[in-house]
Structure 1
Amino acid sequence: MATSTPYPIPPEAPAPGELRRVRWWQRRALRVAALVTLLALSGLVILALVREQTGTEGFLVGLGLATVPVPLLVAAFRWLDRVAPGPWRNLLFCFSWGACAAALVAIVANSFAIRWIATATADPGSADTLGATVIAPVVEESAKAAAVLLVFLFRRRDFTGLVDGVVIAGVTATGFAFTENILYLGNAFVTDQLSRESGLASVTAATFFVRVVMSPFAHPLFTVLTGIGFGIAAALSADRHLLRRVLLPVTGLLLAMGMHALWNGSAVFGQYGFFTVYALFMLPVFGLLTWLAVWTRQRELRTIRAELPVYTAAGWLTPPEPYALGSMRARALARDYASYTWGKEAARTVAEYQAYATSLAFLRHRGRRGRAGADFVVRERELLDLLWERREPARPALAYAAGATAPAARPVPYPAYGHPPYGHPPHGPAPHPYGQAPYGPSYGQPQPYAAYGYPAYDPYR
């Protein structure tokens, strides 16, 4: 009796006459050019606006001070994304969107709204308070969320889970905070210049301490809530969870707006309102989200170790690889080994091998849970072919790394679930009944690496 596969069957290819002609406005090059032009024009406009408010000297001082937290924040998000790193072009787009497009929308919309409220109420003080606590959170978080939405819609293959949502949202908010800090620090410097003779304390130093030292994570923390909503939605099946995939990002955006409003309105709570909100709310939420992100990163590594042994049994991978690919220490050691032995080109090949193997593990994990797309089989075969092309430097490097980090590692039994991997590698082992592939010369027994053609690991060399 035939058994049904849990994975979707890809649709048949259309006949040549049925292929739809690509319109001129659908061409990828045109869309990229339009996006680059939009970001460039936004950058020029925001540069002119900030320089007009701060002056050239204030702009340069603000630019220098605002740059301080950017490398640290970007490095933190890149570290979080090391298991399955996304393309640099996505992060570059997100940072540029936050620093240029989102910042421009925020400055224009906030200024217009505050002026309108002040005119309507004839009370500039209340207009500023209302603008900071109500208007600014809605406008700014919506502008930043637009970048996350664009990546979610048009770079869907690079947006697969919670970590991707956190990284994309965090980098977007880092770019936004960078431009905003230039404006605030530049204006503070101008204030110091005007009040130099009065002997007042440095406004620039106070602004730098609050925005750069105490709360450089504020904007990323708000927008990460939106990213978590998109990340959870990305992990759900598009066919069975359509309503959740819409509600989760909206919920995350509303939470981001609410947290942003509480932070901006902390000054209204009295003399110590800022420090109260900072200590009792911002720091605990920051710690909770940091723990969640790190826990999710570790879960990704466990997923790799659990899903890849099925490809070992079929001959696509060697027994040491699932463990080595599921350990960040072993991954780094494999790249170092390849670089030392064969050069930087081999190290890049090993890094590509690790990235493709990670994508393969996540793809199979989604497929086993019924969340794979219609192109599951095609994508699986594509990733397996990419791995096979890079196996020469990657296999010995990963075997060495596995031996150095876990000399007593034992092969994981072949899981008895789901759909077997696509075929067998070229010139690989002969086809075998599902679940009965030998790991080596003696099935079920750990073998020395020399049994697979690799030199034995010597800890004293």
Structure 2
Amino acid sequence: MTEHAPRGRADAKRPPRRPGAPRRPRFRTALPGAGPVAVPLALLVCGAMVMALITQETGAFGLATGLALAALPVPVMVALLHRAASMDAASRAGLAFALGWGACAATLVALVANGVLVQWLLADPAGLPRPRADALELTLVAPVVEECAKGAAVLLLWLHRPRAVHGVLAGVCAAAMAAIGFAFTENVLYLGRAAAEDRLLGTPVVDSATAATFLVRVVLAPFAHPLFAALTGIGLGLAVVLPRRRRLARAVLPWLGLGGAIGLHSAWNGATGLGTGGFLMVYGLLMFPALALVIGVCVHARRRQLRAVREVLPRYAGPDRPGMGEHTALGTSRGRSLTRRLARRDWGPAGARAVIRYQDTATELALLRDRAERHGGVGPAGAAGDLARREAELLWRLARHRGPAITRSLRGAALVEAQAARPPA
């Protein structure tokens, strides 16, 4: 109902800034010195060039078929990553940039670089025969070029938007999102090429190259590229969270992550020439353990972040910040989900959005303070003055957005969490 609408709605009139309150930062793109439109426009140009190159090879029919089939797994994978990154509100704009980078810029770099390097391998003085050049491209050239192109998204975010890559989970999600975009465009090429060939030959659907390509790339291995890139994200994320005094480890870990991504990618590509038995062996002995490793790392990182929220937020609790007292509702996955459901049930979609904004801000505050304490009182991306300024801004945003929907939903979820934690009589 209208009289119960929470404060801080997007359609509400913005109140005047209080004296001493920090100014809201202006919108920042992922890269410095660029306006709000420059980066998306550049990525769209790269995407248009990639689509033109694919159309030259597959034709309009192949392009349309490839786009339709390659798009099928993307929403599922993006939703899974978005849920994994739900603790990192500051990274959402970064995830969007990573997705666009992988689908457009990284693919364009890979198409051009792979083609140039293959031509160099075939030409004098290298003089390699075509089969050896193709094998070398598959197992060495393509993995190096593609993993470096995908990893560049995480590096750019880390350099120019450090809040988007502030830990292991954020690094994994950014790298995997870039890989999802890359895999989508690559699947458009392979599926479009197969569809054009099947149409030319009149092959039945069941025995078609399109069906076989779809089975391998979309059904059996949709997470191949995200898995490779996740290793790069782990390496860079670990380097970010380590203290500054550990310079050697911070310098080596990103390269180790990139090397692991290239090695796994190379083994996966090489498995295609080992027959069905070799392919299944690589699938079981390398891909599954690597996937289990990445999932384990992400689960551990998420639990550590939730623990930081539970430990840090109570320090900010007080008469002017009553919501911080319900840290159990903000520091557990079940409590966060229950808070959103209660707000939606009692206050509608506007209440749920207000709670999500409050959760995001409170989580960012807790992680900011936790990272600063682990780095000796200074955050990994700035000086003590920047830390204090950012902390004050987040506290001001919490006070501004707090309303009845937030307070009551947090208290209700905290009560349920307390009852669930109470031992049975």
Residue 191 (structure 1) shift: 2.1
Mapped pair 1:184 → 2:195: no
Residue 315 (structure 1) shift: 5.8
Equivalent residue number for residue 210 of structure 2 = 204
Q: Which has the larger radius of gyration?
A: 1
Distance 1:270 1:28, change over 3 A: closer
| 2:271 aligned residue (231, 247, 266) | 266
Mapped pair 1:383 → 2:388: no
Distance 1:315 1:290, change over 3 A: same
User: In the alignment, is the contact (CA less than 8 A) between 2:90 and 2:163 conserved in 1?
Assistant: no
Matched-pair identity in %: 44
Equivalent residue number for residue 247 of structure 1 = 252
TM-score of the two chains, using structure 1 as the length reference: 0.78
Q: Which structure shows the higher helix fraction?
A: 2
Q: Counterparts of 1:21-420 in structure 2 under 5 Å?
A: 30=34, 32-120=36-124, 121-196=127-202, 201-238=207-244, 240-270=245-275, 272-312=277-317, 316-318=321-323, 320-369=325-374, 370=376, 372=379, 373-374=382-383, 375-393=386-404, 394-407=406-419
CA distance in 1, matches of 2:361, 2:237: 20
Residue 122 (structure 1) shift: 4.8
Distance 1:198 1:409, change over 3 A: closer
CA distance in 1, matches of 2:86, 2:163: 17
CA distance in 1, matches of 2:402, 2:137: 58
User: In the alignment, is the contact (CA less than 8 A) between 1:83 and 1:328 conserved in 2?
Assistant: no
1:113-167 Cα deviation digits (max 9, x unpaired) = 1122123325111111001111001111111111111111111122211110011
**Unaligned ranges ≥5, structure 2:** 1-30
CA distance in 2, matches of 1:83, 1:365: 14
Residue 131 of structure 1 aligns with an amino acid whose one-letter code is E
Per mean C-alpha deviation after superposition, the further-off stretch among 227-236 and 311-320 is 311-320
Residue 264 (structure 1) shift: 0.8
Equivalent residue number for residue 15 of structure 2 = none
Q: How many residues align?
A: 383
Aligned partner of residue 419 in structure 2, secondary structure: coil
CA distance in 1, matches of 2:311, 2:262: 38
Residue 84 of structure 1 aligns with an amino acid whose one-letter code is D
TM-score of the two chains, using structure 2 as the length reference: 0.84
Aligned partner of residue 96 in structure 1, secondary structure: helix
CA distance in 2, matches of 1:199, 1:359: 50
Residue 304 (structure 1) shift: 1.0
CA distance in 2, matches of 1:319, 1:114: 59
**Unaligned ranges ≥5, structure 1:** 1-26, 411-461
User: In the alignment, is the contact (CA less than 8 A) between 2:242 and 2:250 conserved in 1?
Assistant: yes
User: In the alignment, is the contact (CA less than 8 A) between 1:78 and 1:85 conserved in 2?
Assistant: no
Distance 1:31 1:236, change over 3 A: farther
Residue 285 (structure 1) shift: 1.1
Residue 36 of structure 1 aligns with an amino acid whose one-letter code is P
CA distance in 1, matches of 2:132, 2:186: 22
Per mean C-alpha deviation after superposition, the further-off stretch among 323-332 and 194-203 is 194-203
Residue 282 (structure 1) shift: 0.7
User: In the alignment, is the contact (CA less than 8 A) between 2:107 and 2:182 conserved in 1?
Assistant: yes
User: In the alignment, is the contact (CA less than 8 A) between 2:91 and 2:165 conserved in 1?
Assistant: no
Aligned partner of residue 53 in structure 2, secondary structure: helix
Distance 1:298 1:195, change over 3 A: same
CA distance in 2, matches of 1:215, 1:385: 46
Aligned-pair Cα RMSD in Å = 2.3
Distance 1:199 1:79, change over 3 A: closer
Residue 313 (structure 1) shift: 5.9
CA distance in 2, matches of 1:226, 1:197: 40
